[in-house]
Structure formats: C-alpha cells, structure tokens
Amino acid sequence: MRMQPKVAVVGAGNVGASVAQYTVEKELADVVLVDIIEGLPQGKALDLLETGPIHGYDSRLGGSNDYNPTADSDIVVITAGLARKPGMTRDDLLFKNAEIVGSVVDQIAPRSPNAILIVVSNPLDVMTYLTWKKSGFPKERVVGMAGILDSARFRTFIAMELGVSVENVTAFVLGGHGDTMVPLPRYSTVAGIPITELLSKDRIGAIVQRTRDGGAEIVNLLKTGGAYYAPGAAVAEMIEAILKDKKKILPCAAYLEGEYGVNGLYVGVPVKLGRGGIQQVIEIKLTSEEKAALEKSAAAVRELVDKLKL
C-alpha cells in the first residue's frame, strides 16, 4: 500500500533532475525519472537516493527507460524535448518538440489517467495545449510552468536594483512564455509598495526587458544548454501547491475560455493551484496598454498552435 504520493518526471536532463532533487528534498513525493537514454535516469535516481542519508529525506527514487513504473502517478512533469542552443528561437524547437511531447503524452495518459500534467517543454504554451489536446484530460489537470520562473527572474532583478531582500518582492507576469511575456509593474511590489513608486519608467523598462530575455541570457552564458535550477524549483513549487492543496496563487499557463478576452488557448495567468490542479483562474483588471500586450502575446501563441494544426 503506497501512502507517499508519486511524481513521474519525463526527461532526466538538468531540468528533470532538478525537479526530482527539489521534490525529494522537500519530501513531497516518491519520484520516477524516465528518459530514453539508457542509464541516465537510473544513474541520476541512484545518486539522489544516496543523497537521502546526508540530507535526511526518505523519499524513494527510481529511474527507467520505459513508462511502466510511472503508472498511477499523482503528477507527471514533462520536461522532455530538445534544449535551446544559442541563436535558436523557441519556435525552431516547435515541430521537433511537438513530436517528442506528443509521444510522451501517448505513453503517460493511459498509465496515469487521474494524474495532473505539468508541462515544461518549450515552446511552453503550445506544448501545454498539445498535451491537453492529446491527453483528453480536463483543462484543470493540464498546466504549464512558465510564469513562476518569469516572475522569479523579475523579482530577482527588482531586488538587485533596489538592494532589498527578494522575499520582500512580489512580481506579476502574464502572457506567453517568451519574447511577448507581459510583466505588470503596477502589480509588482516591494513590501506592498508598487515598484512604479520606487523606480523610474526607464529602469522598470530595462528590468522588464532583462526578464523577457532571462532564458536567452543564461543560454548565452552557459553555451551548452539552458537554465535548470530556477525552472526545477518553479516546478517543485507547483508540485507542493498541488499535493498539499495549498490553494496558492501562482502564475501558470492555463486553458482560457473567455478570461482576459482569450478563448481556446493556453496562456500565462494567475491561477489558484491545489488538489485537482487549477481550481480557479484569477482575473484582474488590466489597463488598455496591458490588455494590448496580452492580446499580442496570445496572438503569438495562437500562431504557433495554428502551425501545428492541432
């Protein structure tokens, strides 16, 4: 009789391994790592298992090249896909990753019909849509991780700019994960004070731009892949909110049916995350400028969805 929840992580690269690490360190669940590369998920799972005595966690980990050990997972995290290389746009990844993610969903959905699916593969919003469509799962149980990462970057840069603790900074990011994301300075605060009161328009503009380019900045520095510590931590925050039914308000890619004037697309918005997945989409009032930026972002997502002819 298994009491501990079970999380399957598909893709045992840096992001997947980081998700597994943070999940077991918080003792949120047992973890199964799956990857097509022989030995990779097994090796990383064993390494993390052997970390347990030192870090003091009892979560179990396993690695596999097939999907059978993922059966009856509470949550499945999909990180599989090609990583972005320098000079590569998120769209270059589109067709290759659609093929990879589609085949993952075909394996996952029948084995864990009650799971919540968290999608991390890029281009994020489109891959989340594809996962929802292919799985046939209700929209509440398919969610994309992007906004938590984007807002963490935004918060980091605001804290650096003002020389304050990141714990005092809350930041708000809407829209697709990529060049059209919509950081909202009026809803971004330091100890409750909107950053529009603390920073000039120019400085805010520069921070917003750096947030948009956050992924590319790390790709260009590393030269061999993309970010993984912060994306892994962002997924772990979602896993914790779901398994502990925290009802935490987090920015995630959710399927919209009229909210924010967007219909039939996955776009980043604040949602209440708890048991069962997305419990509510939180709608806030936008200025006409913010609304236009969100529409532009949604249009960019729709363009990619249309390319895939889903």
Tens digits of pLDDT across the chain (310 residues): 558 999 999 999 999 999 999 999 999 999 999 999 999 999 999 999 999 999 999 999 999 999 999 999 999 999 999 876 777 776 678 999 999 999 999 999 999 999 999 999 989 999 999 999 999 999 999 999 999 999 999 999 999 999 999 999 999 899 988 888 999 999 999 999 999 999 999 999 999 999 999 999 999 999 988 899 999 999 999 999 999 999 999 999 999 999 999 999 999 999 999 999 999 999 999 999 999 999 999 999 999 999 998 8
Q: What is the DSSP letter of 272?
A: E
Q: What are phi and psi of 204, to 5 degrees?
A: -60, -45
Alpha carbon distance 21, 31 (integer Å) = 9
Alpha carbon distance 80, 12 (integer Å) = 8
Question: Which tokens belong to 270?
Answer: 């604040």
Would you call 55 a catalytic residue per the annotation?
A: no
Q: Which of 177, 182, 188, 301 is catalytic?
A: 177
Please name each of the domains of the chain with its CATH number: 6-144 (3.40.50.720), 147-308 (3.90.110.10)
Model-level pTM?
0.96
Cβ-contact 202, 209 below 8 angstroms = no
Alpha carbon distance 124, 164 (integer Å) = 31
Q: Which residues of 191-218 are buried (b: 16+ CB within 10 A; e: fewer)?
A: eeeebeebbeeeebeebbebbbebbbeb
Alpha carbon distance 123, 143 (integer Å) = 14
Give the length of the chain. Answer: 310
Residue found by looking up tokens 């980091």 in the block: 156
